[in-house]
Structure 1
Amino acid sequence: MAGMTLPDAPWRARPGLDRLIAALDGAGGMARWVGGAVRDSLLELPVADIDLATRFAPEEVVRRLEAAGIKAVPTGIAHGTITAVSDRTVVEVTTLRRDVATDGRHAVVAFSDDWREDAARRDFTMNALYADPLTGELFDWFGGLADLAARRVRFIGDPYRRIAEDHLRILRFFRFHARFGDAIDAEGLEACVARANDLMALSRERIAAELLKLLVAPAAVQVVTLMEARGIFRPVLPEIDALGVARLTELAAREVAAGVAPDAIRRLAALVAPATAEAVGARLKLSNNDRKRLIQATAGPGDEGARALGYRAGIESAIDRLLLAGADPRDLLGWDRPPLPIGGGALVARGLAKGPDVARTLRAVEDRWIAEGFPGVDRAAAIADEAVDQALRSRRNA
């Protein structure tokens, strides 16, 4: 891990950041980088989202940004968050806060100018690291640097209190451990096990968002195995059992062998029995496309081959089905689903009357074209000629 200052990571040179820091008086100690960008830079990982904490009140943040010609979007101004867009670089700017009241789902906050108070309300020590935007000096009140060096996800202060403030932190504890962790923090684990029923109070959308991120984390299989064994899923997803974990373990090994990236919906399909997929998708309020994938993922590989399945079901769904069935999906990697070179109009031009015969014959043409391995236009035309001749003969003989 890097030394005791923030490394000069590539994201720090993004256009517009200097102007943003100047607008929020970074030189005067009024703004600091915080959260994931600091954590991931110290771990030498790519940084996606950039967060800046500031002592300025939200209204003053907006005023200063606009005066500097930086777009200010009040995405969460009631909770102190402004989205700043500076030369196309997007940064979440949040006023320092302290919790006034929490109920496990929502927090009432008051704005603050105390850095330590703001850090104390965060979830894990590794997420409560701040950095001076100019010098890179790090600020760590709760041992986050040591935990980061040890790859230990640890709650700030009392784990039970942190979980009572926001029940989603139970799932976040496991997700962060699956992404960053080495040896699991025993105190945090026991608190999550003891308070697992608190997950029932959360919206299913929040549960789904955390679960889907967890399922593609590097140590997802090991962590999900632990979660199932300790009863974490039982209150909200009782469909996940030891058999599902075994299927997930097999699927993850197949993904690696085939060179296919992990996919959250595919992995969820392995975790839940096929008969429960529809109910789980509805309960988690997945998108219509994701629900369809979840339900279809265990439909089997078919008997026409990988590319035929890819053509009929779509490449994404076909890869799901092949991997979950233990079949090889590599024929689909990098393959583009070709369009059928012949349409209904071409069959009419060959003498078929418009109507059911066209649709029926076109299906026959498509089936043969697929069976022959998606040949080009000339062969497709020959297939169409033969199919139309056969259809016309059948009509005459009827």
Structure 2
Amino acid sequence: MGRVLPPNDWTARPGLALLVRALGAEEMRWVGGAVRDTLLGLPVKDFDCATRLRPETVIDRCRAAGIRTVPTGIDHGTVTAILEEGPVEVTTLRRDVSTDGRHATIAFSDDWQDDAARRDFTINALYAHPLTGEISDYFGGFDDLAARRVRFIGDAEARIREDHLRILRFFRFQARFGGEADQAGLNACRALAPALKGLSRERIGAELLALLALPDPAPAVRLMAEAGVLTVVLPEAQARELTALERLINAEQAENAPPDPLRRLAALVPAIPTLAEAVAARLRLSKQQRARLVCAAERKDGDAADPRALAYYEGLACAQDRLLLAGGGIALLKVWEVPVFPLKGGEIVARGVAAGPEVARIMRVVEKQWVTEGFPGMARIEELLGEALRSNIE
């Protein structure tokens, strides 16, 4: 026997073992991230299965075993098995018939190497027998994984022409697994970077955020810039913004703040709200993401003077974004809940002020002082209200 999966906690899980029995151990292999991450000693979150069985047979066998399935991509051979451990994508072996950089026409195959040949990187084309753990490696992925080398299968330009998004995936995998960048892959990404313009903005946005969510994507992002890729997908990010990203990541690490892709995207966009709005629209971000990106772009030099006041007026997430982008600390916000201003307009009316704009003005005066004083209790608010009312009379 050759190389095998090291001992792990997932191959014998009840749901996965049931799927193996349903499909037949000789008809399936674990493939992709689960195999790669197990070899690296990393936690395994997602499971993918390749099989020689046709999709309809997969559905029939799973039904007979009591496993519910969803035909998530049945035209391309993918059926999702719903297991106790979570969903598992079961995909029939395939080979490409034709590609256009966005979509592929495929044909089913019963050859494991055919299936491996259509994958992107060698480290993602490792197959493991579900019972013995023996690894099938058709393109040197095992050695590339040991060397921390992200390498396209076969001709790099050919792989990219099959799916232009693989350019961004190259840099994402480089950020996660890579050491020194594979020169052939880097040259292919540089040569074909303009092809990214033909992809949907949603796909680019999702891949960019996935890259920025990694622990330290800054070296890979700088490599993207040097290869002329970043200017295609995010032309707003120039040398100053690359430095801002590096500074932000240092601040996150110093403050034990988890990686946040949207905050990091904000670092790569100049602090101009209208520009942030345009980037959010171009990348098809959600309304909530767009609002947060714009709020981060409204950052000012004085934001760090009173972090809790900033959080009160702008929201906790935006305040943390602005403080970290400025290189400041967020310790005051970590165990603090933004309070609700307890004074109601009716209490001001009860003091003899006619309902209308004057009530709102007095509320704003009291609220501003309440925030300035660090959110004191109701007794102090009553005092502040009294002061505001006396000032109003005078």
TM-score (norm: length of structure 2): 0.93
Q: Which runs of 4+ in 1 moved over 6 A?
A: none
After TM superposition, the structure 1 = structure 2 runs for residues 203-352 of structure 1, keeping only pairs within 5 Å, are 203-275=200-272, 276-298=275-297, 299-300=299-300, 301-302=302-303, 305-349=306-350, 352=353
Code of the residue aligned with 2:33 in structure 1: it is: G
Judged with a 3 Å threshold, the aligned counterparts in structure 2 of structure 1 residues 43 and 385 are, in CA distance, closer, same or farther, namely same
Q: Is the 8 A contact 2:255 2:329 kept in 1?
A: yes
Code of the residue aligned with 2:90 in structure 1: it is: V
Q: What is the deviation of 1:346? A: 4.3
What residue number does 1:372 align with?
A: 373
- 1-structure distance, mates of 2:280, 2:387: 45
Query: How many positions carry a matched residue from both structures?
Result: 389
After TM superposition, the structure 1 = structure 2 runs for residues 42-53 of structure 1, keeping only pairs within 5 Å, are 42-53=39-50
- 1-structure distance, mates of 2:366, 2:393: 20
Q: Is the 8 A contact 1:37 1:50 kept in 2?
A: yes
- 1-structure distance, mates of 2:13, 2:334: 34
Code of the residue aligned with 1:228 in structure 2: it is: A
Query: Which of the residues 132, 137, 142 maps onto 1:135?
Result: 132
Query: Which of the residues 182, 186, 190 maps onto 1:185?
Result: 182
1:320-349 CA distances to partner (integer Å, 9 max, x unpaired)? 111222322221123222333343344445
Q: What is the deviation of 1:350? A: 5.1
What residue number does 1:356 align with?
A: 357
Task: Among all aligned residue pairs of Structure 1 and Structure 2, give the percentage whose two residues are the same amino acid.
Answer: 57
Q: What is the deviation of 1:304? A: 5.3
Q: What is the deviation of 1:18? A: 1.3
Judged with a 3 Å threshold, the aligned counterparts in structure 2 of structure 1 residues 344 and 383 are, in CA distance, closer, same or farther, namely farther
Q: What is the deviation of 1:91? A: 0.9
Q: What is the deviation of 1:150? A: 0.3
Q: Is the 8 A contact 1:361 1:387 kept in 2?
A: no
Code of the residue aligned with 1:322 in structure 2: it is: L
Q: Is the 8 A contact 2:29 2:129 kept in 1?
A: yes
- 2-structure distance, mates of 1:362, 1:15: 61
Q: What is the deviation of 1:186? A: 0.8
SS of aligned partner of 1:389: helix
1:333-368 CA distances to partner (integer Å, 9 max, x unpaired)? 232223333433444455554433433333333323
1:138-182 CA distances to partner (integer Å, 9 max, x unpaired)? 111000000000000000000010001000111111110110001
Code of the residue aligned with 2:139 in structure 1: it is: F
Q: What is the deviation of 1:244? A: 1.3
What residue number does 2:381 align with?
A: 384
Code of the residue aligned with 2:29 in structure 1: it is: R
The more displaced of 224-233 and 37-46 is: 224-233
- 2-structure distance, mates of 1:199, 1:278: 21
- 1-structure distance, mates of 2:145, 2:359: 65
Code of the residue aligned with 2:277 in structure 1: it is: E
Q: Is the 8 A contact 2:215 2:259 kept in 1?
A: no
Task: Note the residue ranges of structure 2 that are not aligned, 5 or more in a row.
Answer: none
Q: What CA RMSD, in Å, does the superposition of the two structures yield over aligned residues?
A: 2.0
Q: What is the deviation of 1:369? A: 2.6
Q: What is the deviation of 1:217? A: 2.3
Code of the residue aligned with 2:54 in structure 1: it is: A
Query: Which of the residues 160, 164, 168 maps onto 2:165?
Result: 168
What residue number does 1:104 align with?
A: 101
What residue number does 1:16 align with?
A: 15
Q: What is the deviation of 1:13? A: 4.2
Q: Is the 8 A contact 1:152 1:185 kept in 2?
A: yes
Code of the residue aligned with 1:309 in structure 2: it is: L
- 2-structure distance, mates of 1:354, 1:75: 58
> Does residue 1:118 correspond to 2:115, yes or no?
yes
SS of aligned partner of 1:239: coil
Code of the residue aligned with 2:345 in structure 1: it is: G
Judged with a 3 Å threshold, the aligned counterparts in structure 2 of structure 1 residues 387 and 12 are, in CA distance, closer, same or farther, namely same
Q: Is the 8 A contact 1:347 1:384 kept in 2?
A: no
1:2-36 CA distances to partner (integer Å, 9 max, x unpaired)? x921123223344411111111112xx11111100
SS of aligned partner of 1:73: strand
What residue number does 2:60 align with?
A: 63
Q: Is the 8 A contact 1:352 1:388 kept in 2?
A: no
Q: What is the deviation of 1:126? A: 0.3
